Chains A and B, each alone.
Chain A
Amino acid sequence: MKQVKKKKFFRSLFFVLLLTAGFSLFAPPSVKVVAQQPTPSDDDVNAIARKLYCPVCENTPLDVCPTQACKQWREEIRLRLAQGWTEEEILQYFVDQYGARVLAEPPRTGLNWLAYIVPPVAFLLGAYILFRAMRSWRALANQPVEAEPPVVEEKDEYVSRLEEELRKRG
């Protein structure tokens, strides 16, 4: 009896395995499919685009700018990357074509240095002024309240004379 049960068990197990194998043959592959990226990829293009600003849409980096002009610029970057240009060459190309103002970081020349020097200098100066002000406020707060000098009442001359007269008569 036990052997019959064992046989039944192995037979059903065999069928289950057979069915699983059959399903796995016809089941669609479980490989994750992702959208193909154009070559060079959008990420490659945007890595350079975020270092540029189109003069038409000021204050919007090229990688997120939705205008037609900016789309064209991004395609230009893709084209140059596909041709094997380096990032520096592409940035230089844009500077030559449209001027240095398209760069997110102004080149370190001439008056542009102000953009690099002024903010940290202003910050340090502000911090110094604040430090001095706080120090003087703290010194004022720690200073003991000056005791009022005792009021020495000076008697009025007429009052003195009046008192004297009264003493003489009294």
Chain B
Amino acid sequence: MTENSNETLTPAPRRSVPLWAQILVWIGLLGLLVILAIGLLRTQQGTIQAGQVVDDFELAFFDGYDYNGQETVNLSDLRGKVVVVNFWASWCKPCEQEAADLEEAWRYYEPTGEVVFLGVDYVDTEPEARSYLAKFEITFPNGADRGTKISQYFRIEGVPETYFIDRQGVLREVQTGPFQSRQDIIEIVDALLAEE
């Protein structure tokens, strides 16, 4: 009797998960959490901040558009000039509000050669983009954001958005949403031109 009860009381040997497997699982979980945290941080960062030097990017223009006879432009080629980068799309109604003001501002500065406007067409189809440009008689250099690389770099939150880059290639102003008047644009650009 006592022998029997002793048998039942003896705990069965438990096989635990090997240590290497436990370490592997924890490393995997931590890795996933890190990736998740980086992704969340990136989405909550917002657009790139004023004061930051803007990295170089290349914009290929639509047929019929050029900058000094070139079909593409690199931001680094424009050092020494004030650069206005405007993100737009043909399906974006607020973009239509500011289209005429941007074009007027461009025509105002074009003869000086000190300011360059770049239109970056975001997630659009070319026929509609070209119709939009023709409708608003846009003449400043415009091209599609191929692979959405430029918009991803600027971390745009929508369209329209406009970025003002000074002569040293530093981002100085960010305009989210449409401009209310041509004067809004001119005030920002004039302030940047006034700097040495």
Contact = CB atoms under 8 A, between A and B. Distances in A.
Interface of A: 54-56, 67-69, 72-73, 75-76, 96-99, 101, 111, 114, 118, 121, 125, 136, 139, 143-144, 146-147
Contacts of A73: 125
B12 A139 contact: yes
25 contacts: A55-B123, A56-B89, A56-B91, A56-B123, A67-B91, A72-B90, A72-B91, A72-B124, A72-B125, A76-B125, A96-B146, A96-B147, A97-B144, A97-B146, A97-B147, A98-B123, A98-B148, A99-B147, A99-B149, A111-B35, A121-B28, A125-B25, A136-B14, A143-B8, A147-B5
Nearest to B15: A132
Nearest to B151: A55
Which of A68, A97, A114 has the most chain B CB within a 10 Å cutoff? A97
Contact of B89 (A69, A118, A125, A147): A69
B9 interface: yes
B32 interface: yes
Given A76-B125, A97-B144, A99-B148, A69 B8 contact: no
B128 A72 contact: yes
B57 to A, nearest CB: 14
Contacts, number: 45
Given A96-B146, A97-B147, A98-B147, A54 B125 contact: no
Nearest to B129: A72
Q: How large is the interface on B (under 10, 10 to 19, 20 to 34, 35 or more residues)?
A: 20 to 34
Given A75-B125, A96-B146, A99-B148, 6 more contacts: A69-B89, A72-B128, A73-B125, A96-B147, A121-B28, A146-B9
Interface in B1-39: 5, 8-9, 12, 14, 25, 28, 32, 35
Contacts of B5: 147
A154 B152 CA distance: 82
A111 B39 CA distance: 13
Contacts of B12: 139
A125 B125 CA distance: 45
B9 A69 contact: no
A55 B148 contact: yes
Contacts of B123: 54-56, 69, 98
Interface in B100-155: 123-125, 128, 144, 146-149, 152
B182 to A, nearest CB: 26
Contacts of A111: 35
A147 B6 CA distance: 10
Interface in B59-73: none
Q: Which 9 A-B pairs have the closest CB atoms?
A: A68-B91, A69-B91, A99-B147, A72-B125, A76-B125, A99-B148, A144-B8, A72-B128, A55-B123
Contacts of B9: 146
Nearest to B147: A99
B124 A69 contact: yes
A98 B152 CA distance: 11
Nearest to A143: B8
A136 B13 CA distance: 11
A132 B167 CA distance: 66
A10 B57 CA distance: 93
A99 B35 CA distance: 21
B156 to A, nearest CB: 10
Nearest to B158: A56
